[in-house]
Structure 1
């Protein structure tokens, strides 16, 4: 069963490793979006100077739609999940993943997942490895897109974020491999 911070540290065991959030990467995402919007603005101004006709307005609307969708996707898929993420911690008896839902963030509650509660872990590889057999691919976070953890109580948890150059991801995969709960899978569309 997934539990919050109320699990006492005796049940968690000794802290093996902690990977902290990379604040520079989180900060650079909005900066990159701002630069993208600034470039789009420059393109729009140059188009309007060149084509002060209805054709220029259509191009303007098209560019604005593309820029808006880019900003929305980057906020939804990158900035928001990284902003609410926490440190990735691996204990002797379980781990706390970096990903958090909005409700967990609001309640300031990290989900602790005991290793004994894990039934099976689906390791999903990146799309670029579709042509290779999953048995020949290494258990390395560099190759892995995400892990779907199936718990004995029927819940699932997805782990995608590994901070600090995948140090925690390698350690977690090593522990899960020793427990024999890993099942390798190809890339699949969500």
Structure 2
């Protein structure tokens, strides 16, 4: 009898034990994680190239050159840094962090039943593009040039050359600020009105 009771207990434990979960990644999950790692790698290499940029290194905007390449990314890093600074100006230094955020948002793990909202991604892309354009324009007006590059890059130069003759410097700055706020809302989904309301209530809370 004792043996039968023990055997029944053992069978009960075996049948009621939790099933092992499959830890292997599916094909889409493998592709997503691979793209995430590649995106992080590109952002890190971009940051290294930008923060070790030297005006004396060879690039498409630098013809005369002699000596060793100072950029930690080598010749390729020197060209990448020069191109980014020429295009975006000082905003180029924020691009690695923006790329990491974009990579995480795009390739983060989703629930199996979570669908992709095309309208949401469309507004994000539009907001991101406007955010870059307005930021370059504001940098071109308000910041000093960096090395032989415009502070807003070629994008900021184009925006200000078109807007300042019509709106003047102050009008262009105000227009770009309001457009920046609208593009920030489109890109992040954070309401500027709610943010301003919270900031307005903050002094009362401190009192």
Task: Provide the TM-score with structure 2 as the length reference.
Answer: 0.27
More helix by share: 2
**Whose RCO is larger (CA < 8 A, sep 6+)?**
1
Larger radius of gyration: 2
More strand by share: 1
